[in-house]
């Protein structure tokens, strides 16, 4: 009962806040009942997403639904709104809006020319111009629905609002285009260093490492996958990395997981491309160092410091058996989740950085296999 009462109070407070914001903006709502219902549905959805993604904070349920918004959905939504606005427009030519959009567009183009982005943005001036057209029609239709209008008396205020709107649409369109191979290749051609296939190789390598974090009962809240400039900001020689703060265990299962984590990137590349390159040598050397510790502790017949040829050969046999057993498990696991592996890899290429909020939804669909070591078995 207390939970239901608390939820109703939260909805009421959110409704009052939205009502006064709309009142301040002089936006009239025909039905207060449907406004209340809309706020209630938003917060109910927010609580469901908050529980699933384990968000923290008092206002987490207010912003949680926004986590379901992605650049592809926004791109299609803005395009659909523009098309609907053109089709239903009562007055396609409104000089006040056109003039304000023109000012906002010129301002954004100047800002784009003055501020150099770390990541190349091919055709970005064209993206801004196209976004300005979208902003014009969306604004025209929105003002018609709200029965409001633009005037030259509030030019600065209106221009600022449209600069923000065009910027949001431009960024949405930019990341929307990054989902497509042709635009990724344009980015690559402007960088003159790595090919698209090489970039995808690196993304698959790191995404394979990332998927191994299914070992833990809970996905580490600070987990990130970083590519290219994002990775170089932490380690100048790195093209990609996965970082997370994790608990350390002195157990056989945890040591096995660390070994499998080390070589999972190589196995992921072999699964997708039938070859491997990125970080392969250092990953294998890390596996061998961990294998030495593992065999020394859990295989009585292993000789830590072999002297005779027989001891060396026996050590090599134990190491090979361990390696073959582990790559069998990794390959089976990655094959079971090949679709998720590719989704994460391509999403990482879009942003060059994925954090918990983007990673967790993928992990909720991961298929576990019984041969994998897991934290809860310890």
Residue 146: how many other CB atoms lie within 10 Å: 14
**Average pLDDT, rounded, for the chain:** 84
Per-residue pLDDT at 320: 93
CATH class assigned to 193-377: mainly alpha
CA 100/CA 15 separation, integer angstroms: 32
Confidence of residue 121 (pLDDT cuts 50, 70, 90): confident
Q: Which pLDDT belongs to residue 314?
A: 92
Which comes out higher in pLDDT, residue 244 or 26?
244
Asked if the model's pLDDT at residue 94 lies above 80, the reply is no
Q: State the average pLDDT over residues 129-136.
A: 88
Say what the pLDDT of residue 48 is: 83
How high is the pLDDT of residue 91? 66
User: Taking a C-beta distance cutoff of 8 angstroms, is the pair 40, 11 a contact?
Assistant: yes
Quick check: 214 pLDDT over 70?
yes
Query: In this predicted structure, which of 40-49, 243-252, 276-285 has the lowest mean pLDDT?
Result: 276-285
What residue ranges do the domains of the chain occupy?
2-67, 71-187, 193-377
Residue 262 confidence (pLDDT) above 90: yes
Per-residue pLDDT tens over the stretch 269-317: 999 998 876 557 788 899 999 999 999 999 989 898 889 999 999 999 9
pLDDT of residue 5: 83
* Burial (CB count within 10 angstroms: exposed 0-12, middle 13-18, buried 19+), residue 38: middle
- pLDDT computed for residue 223 by the predictor: 93
Let me know if 284 is exposed, middle or buried by CB neighbors in 10 A (0-12, 13-18, 19+). middle
What does the block give as tokens for 11?
């909805």
Which ranges of the chain would DSSP assign to H, the alpha helix?
2-24, 32-53, 60-63, 71-88, 95-114, 124-146, 155-177, 181-191, 196-211, 229-232, 252-273, 280-298, 309-336, 338-351, 356-363
Q: Report the predicted TM-score, pTM, of the whole model to 2 decimal places.
A: 0.74
The per-residue pLDDT for range 148-160, each reduced to its tens digit, is 666 666 677 778 8
In this prediction, residue 150 carries a pLDDT of 66
pLDDT tier at 192, thresholds 50, 70, 90: low
């Amino acid at each position: 009962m207390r939970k239901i009462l608390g939820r109703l109070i939260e909805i009421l407070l959110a409704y009052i806040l939205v009502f006064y914001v709309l009142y301040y903006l002089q936006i009239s709502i025909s039905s207060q009942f449907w406004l209340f219902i809309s706020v209630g549905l938003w917060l109910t959805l927010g609580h469901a997403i908050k529980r699933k993604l384990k968000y923290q904070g008092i206002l987490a349920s207010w912003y949680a639904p926004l986590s379901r918004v992605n650049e592809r959905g926004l791109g299609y939504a803005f395009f659909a709104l523009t098309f609907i606005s053109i089709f239903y427009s009562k007055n396609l030519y409104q000089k006040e809006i056109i003039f304000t959009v023109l000012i906002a567009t010129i301002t954004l183009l100047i800002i784009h020319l003055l501020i150099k982005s770390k990541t190349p943005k091919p055709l970005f001036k064209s993206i801004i111009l196209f976004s300005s057209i979208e902003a014009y029609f969306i604004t025209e239709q929105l003002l018609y629905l709200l029965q409001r209008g633009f005037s030259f008396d509030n030019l600065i205020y209106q221009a600022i609002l449209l600069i923000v709107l065009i910027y949001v649409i431009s960024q949405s369109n930019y990341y929307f285009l990054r989902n497509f191979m042709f635009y990724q290749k344009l980015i690559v051609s402007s960088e003159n260093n790595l090919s698209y296939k090489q970039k995808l190789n690196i993304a698959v390598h790191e995404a394979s490492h990332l998927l191994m974090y299914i070992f833990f009962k809970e996905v580490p809240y600070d987990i990130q996958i970083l590519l290219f400039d994002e990775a170089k900001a932490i380690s100048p020689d790195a093209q990609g990395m996965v970082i997370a703060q994790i608990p350390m265990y002195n157990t056989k299962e945890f040591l096995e997981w660390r070994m499998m984590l080390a070589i999972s990137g190589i196995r992921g590349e072999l699964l997708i491309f039938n070859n491997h390159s990125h970080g392969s040598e250092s990953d294998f050397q890390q596996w061998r160092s961990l294998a030495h510790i593992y065999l020394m502790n859990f295989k009585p017949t292993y000789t830590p410091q072999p002297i005779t040829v027989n001891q060396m050969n026996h050590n090599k046999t134990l190491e090979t058996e361990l390696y073959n057993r582990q790559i069998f498990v990794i390959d089976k696991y990655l094959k079971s989740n090949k679709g998720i592996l590719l989704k994460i890899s391509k999403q990482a290429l879009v942003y060059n950085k994925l954090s918990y909020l983007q990673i967790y939804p993928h992990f909720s669909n991961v298929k576990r296999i019984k041969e994998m070591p897991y934290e809860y078995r310890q």
